[in-house]
Amino acid sequence: MADQTQPWAERTVEMPPGAEGPGMPPGPEGFRRGVAQVGVPRQRTEPEAPHEPTGTGWPVPEQERQQLPPGYHWRQLRIGRHWSMLGGLFAFVCWGIWAISARGDLTSPVVTFVLTLLVAVGLFALARLVGRVVWERQLGRIRRSARGAHLVTGIFLAGVGVAYLRQTEWVVDLWTWVAGL
């Protein structure tokens, strides 16, 4: 046995090349015991599994993206449309009450309602643009519907409907009478 007071490096024993100890299996070709193989590339013996995207992680390059089916974006815009339709229906009914109560020429109220609908379409487009910039580009998420933009548009149209009702005198009188009970 070596003296335990000597450093570790001095206590090691050099083995001659090709000398294998008892019970030790021979190493692979080119292997020499005690000599490191530096700069020799390691060969993989197992095949590498193909990458399966899970929808999380780094963005996929444009050439690797899957082809979307035809009409995908139009179907995506339709999801959540009930919010815009409910807000539009409410605004239309309230506009109708306001227009009939005016008892005059309907040209101005029709132009007002058409302009309101154009503003709602612009608001929908703006909400989609903000969603694209924030949700897709900044957060790296995928938008699967237009629910948020439809909800914003529906709330806007419901607010417009309430504004029409607040301009109708008999509705305001009815509201103050009910609130006074």
Quickly list DSSP for 137-176: IIT-------HHHHHHHHHHHHHHHHHHHHT-HHHHHHHH
Question: Which of 72-81, 89-98, 120-129, 143-152 shows the lowest mean pLDDT across its residues?
Answer: 72-81
The Cβ of residue 64 has, within 10 Å, a number of other Cβ atoms equal to 9
Range with the largest mean pLDDT of 39-43, 69-73, 148-152:
148-152
* Residues 68-88, mean pLDDT to the nearest whole number: 83
pLDDT at residue 27, rounded to an integer: 60
pLDDT above 80 for 147? yes
pLDDT over 70 at 143, yes or no:
yes
pLDDT band, very low/low/confident/very high, at 104 (cuts 50, 70, 90): confident
Angle at 93 between CA 159 and CA 106, to 5 degrees: 105
Confidence band of 171 (pLDDT split at 50, 70, 90): confident
The whole-angstrom separation of Cα 28 and Cα 51 is 32
pLDDT at 2 over 60: no
Give per-residue pLDDT as tens, 6-41: 665 555 556 555 555 555 556 666 666 677 767 666
Residue 177 has pLDDT above 70, yes or no: yes
Residue from 160, 151, 40 nearest 92 by CA: 160
What H or E segment, with its residue span, contains residue 128?
A: helix 107-131
pLDDT surpasses 60 at 50: yes
pTM of the entire structure?
0.59
- Percent residues over pLDDT 90 in the chain: 29
Q: Mean of the pLDDT values across residues 116-135?
A: 91
pLDDT of 64:
54
